A and B are shown apart, each in its own frame.
Chain A
Amino acid sequence: MENNEQIERFFDQMKKQDEQLDIPVFPEVKTRKFGFWIPAGIAASMVFAFLFIQKPEPIKPASPEVVIITLQQDGNHNQHFTIEERTFLDTWESPTASLLTEY
């Protein structure tokens, strides 16, 4: 070891000089990798936007497309027209239809 004294002394002095050096602060290293929270946050924002920004459209009442006019007779043998408006017609049978087939 004793023959290293000169070198040891040299490096001790070098280290002493290096104490005057400005050591840069530990850098805030920003990794280029995407974390889990970034895409998750974007997805959550899109879901919220879809749910809250979209206004529900009011349901418009459908316009009547079928008008049924029937002639009905009451107990006093008076005849009345009855007019009905419907949006659809499943099945409708004329009350006088039997006359067409039977006679």
Chain B
Amino acid sequence: MNHNQLDHILKAHHRDAYLWARQCCSFKDEMAKDVLQQTYLKILEGQAKLKDESKVKTWLFSIIRYTAIDELRKAGKIVSLSDSYDPVDIHEEVDRTDYEGIIKHLPEMQREVILMVFYHKMTIAQSAEILQISIGTARTHYDRGKKKLKELITKVQIQEDYGKQ
């Protein structure tokens, strides 16, 4: 695949790629722009090669995710895996329309699977491929994430309707 074809593919997915980069960078705009720039550079320099053209989005999202992990590690903001299984609770007051604030309360892997499935309309199998985990594990993250997100949404609604309890 030549430079122009890759350029065309990247332009076609640019918006989705930016939104995903932002979600991988804890919704930080500047870091997301940086991650996206590095991702495009990796692709156009041939460091990351597309093997199956039918999996463009999966491939692109995977590179963005790993680039974001590297950036977060450099910034010392990486969360250890054990934290991903801690129960979620909201102690501070969160606005019902602060969707980013709510979703940030989910453990990392669950958040990523939920965003890929519900926001980016991908399948659990595609999410598993991006996260490089088995479908079974991805499904577990999906189920737990969904359950926790429902709890969070309900809790925020209750907090708003009746005041913090």
Contact = CB atoms under 8 A, between A and B. Distances in A.
Interface in B76-121: 97, 99-100, 102-103, 114, 118-119
Contacts of B46: 33
Given A29-B37, A29-B40, A4 B146 contact: yes
A21 B44 CA distance: 26
| Interface of chain A, main secondary structure | helix
B14 A10 contact: no
B11 interface: yes
A7 B146 contact: yes
Given A6-B150, A13-B97, A31 B118 contact: no
Contacts, number: 55
Interface string A47-65: 0000000000000000000
For chain B, which range describes its interface: under 10, 10 to 19, 20 to 34, or 35 or more residues? 20 to 34
B113 to A, nearest CB: 12
A24 B18 contact: yes
Contact of B150 (A7, A21, A24, A33): A7
Contacts of B19: 18, 21
A76 to B, nearest CB: 95
Nearest to B32: A24
9 contacts: A7-B150, A10-B118, A15-B119, A17-B97, A26-B14, A29-B37, A31-B41, A32-B45, A33-B46
A23 interface: yes
